[in-house]
Structure 1
Amino acid sequence: MDVVTSTRLAAGDAAPDFTLPDSSGKDVSLADLRGQDVVLYFYPAAMTPGCTTQACDFRDNLNSLAQAGYRVVGVSKDEPAANAEFAEQESLNFPLLSDPDLAVHKAYGAWGEKSMYGRTVTGTIRSTFVIDGEGRLTHALYNVKATGHVASLRKRLGID
């Protein structure tokens, strides 16, 4: 099996630009978000237990993140319709972007080999990136846990 694990990014790197459709099919570009601090997180699949936990955690902390100047955006390989259903089902109040060809996942190093239930599999590496208003990464976090991640991120960002 020939698996290509994408290159990982680090704080200080330029955030790879992208344009992806949100859950309504409207294109969202990183360039459109310039001037704002962005929390960009990659999740494996809409409506799965871990991804639901993580998305709801971002939803429940969105006001404090926004008050600190951060805009939250989620990315998965799901089609826009699946992300729309996920957003409606969980009352998610931030954009969920669709990357079915995995180009943005790979550009951010969020696609590759990972350990799941003791086996090595290829898939989305649950990751979070904090991008400053000038398009530079201030944090690049890989293999984050679904539970407790937002609290940990808030501490890193000095919000707590």
Structure 2
Amino acid sequence: MDGKEQVPGSAAGSDPSEEGLWRPLWVLMREMDDDIARIYAAAALGEIRPTHVGELLRLHARGPMTITELAASVGLTHSAVSQKVAAMRTAGLVRTVPGADARTKKVTLTAKAKRLTGRLAAEWRATERASAELEAELPYPLSRVVEDMRAALARRSFYDRIAAQLAQDPEWQ
């Protein structure tokens, strides 16, 4: 060794995308979403995706909304919700209708989606109860981890942490 500290992912020919401290968490979340999708498939709910249920339930509870309003209500970007709305439109779950003026459109549930919202709400509640049950088995609940991470990020943002790391990386300079 030449005495230089090896920075993970910095060796010639290495692929830093093969690293991922939290990759197991993302994989776990996808696996859990896949299990929810299996519930939908077993119930023959059609093209419902777990990632669309929050928006469908929000539209059911609050009525038609613009994409901007829907995005704000679920805490996602306009772009992310626009993509979801396009997929839900293709699946026959939502449609757009004229808004208050000629420039706006509102997203509304189709009759097909309205027929499913009771079952989707039941699944949401069951998933929350199952999540609480799972979390009770853990020595340190994930919801507590999230709270602790938010507190740590309030002290020093993720942006600032990444920027400090980049300042030390010669490949960023």
TM-score (ref. length: structure 2): 0.27
Specify which structure has the bigger relative contact order, considering alpha-carbon pairs within 8 angstroms and separated by 6 or more residues: 1
Q: Indicate the structure with greater helix content.
A: 2
For the pair shown, which has the larger CA radius of gyration, 1 or 2?
A: 2
Q: Indicate the structure with greater strand content.
A: 1
TM-score (ref. length: structure 1): 0.28
